[in-house]
């Protein structure tokens, strides 16, 4: 097992993510944890409800990579990207 010498240090939003889980887009269910970013494995549109926002937003034509957004829901309607992973 690897030794994590940084495990007791407080990380800010600019720090690397420590947890990850595959995202199942849903129009009704929130994610278990608000993201610090979302990894997009297959490019496309990503519809999210941003933390603290009143209405959802669609990020169009997101390329493969990390989308740095604090989201509490990834919506099924409007999301065409795939292989999404929530990072926090």
Q: What is the pLDDT of residues 75-86, one digit of tens each?
A: 999 999 999 999
Q: Cα dihedral sign for 19, 32, 29, 53? A: negative
Residue ranges per domain, the chain?
31-87
Question: pTM for the whole thing?
Answer: 0.88
Burial class of residue 86, CB neighbours in 10 A (0-12, 13-18, 19+): buried
**Average pLDDT over the chain, rounded to whole?**
92
Instruction: Name which of 47, 10, 29, 78 is nearest 38 in CA terms.
Output: 47
Please name the helix (run of DSSP H) or strand (run of DSSP E) that holds residue 21, with its range, or none. Answer: strand 20-22
What per-residue confidence (pLDDT) applies to 21?
Answer: 97
81: Cα within 13 Å, side-chain hemisphere: 28
């Amino acid at each position: 097992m690897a030794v994590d010498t940084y495990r007791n240090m407080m990380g800010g939003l600019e720090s690397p993510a420590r947890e990850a889980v595959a995202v199942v887009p849903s129009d009704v269910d929130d994610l278990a944890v608000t993201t610090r970013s979302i990894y997009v494995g297959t490019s496309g549109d990503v519809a999210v409800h941003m933390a603290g926002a009143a209405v959802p937003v669609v990020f169009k034509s997101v390329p493969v990579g990390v989308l740095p957004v604090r989201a509490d829901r990834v919506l099924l309607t409007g999301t065409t990207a795939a292989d999404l992973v929530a990072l926090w």
